[in-house]
Amino acid sequence: MMNAQMQTINQKMAVEYLKFFYPTIRNEITQLSKQNNFAGVMQATINYLKDLLLDSKINIIGHHIKLMEFIYKKGNSYVKDMIENLFIRSFESFKKHTKIQYWNDLYNYMPVKFQEIYVEQQRKDEIFFGK
């Protein structure tokens, strides 16, 4: 019997998943990936989620966060770093631009690992920047 373990997701594979997960911005993701701009791809997904936040579509954002968790869990170190440093870091902006109840709902949708990373980022920002 073959080993059914899934291979590690690199940035090219992550882009393919993101194109599938985000059909609304698929063309933008495709264009950025042609330029080898994975950071830009991540930012495009963040911008899309911010637009959903403005429309108070918290459940949909929560769903997309869980999809990003899938990529994170299987991602190589570069993909994980990008998710931590761009995607999870963007949660602070989400918090600033929404009602506290929406933020609480959104936080509850976050996978525990993302919550831990977010809290650690906030703690380090407090230490280093006095935020």
SS3 75: strand
Q: How far is CA 100 from CA 9, 52, 68, in A?
A: 34, 16, 23
> Residue 9's beta-bridge partner residues?
75
pLDDT (tens, 9 = 90+) of the chain, 131 residues, equals 344 456 899 999 999 999 999 999 999 999 999 999 999 999 999 999 999 999 999 999 999 999 999 999 999 999 999 999 999 999 999 999 899 999 999 999 999 999 999 999 999 988 888 76
* Spans of all domains in the chain: 11-129
Determine contact, residues 95/51, Cβ cutoff 8 Å.
no
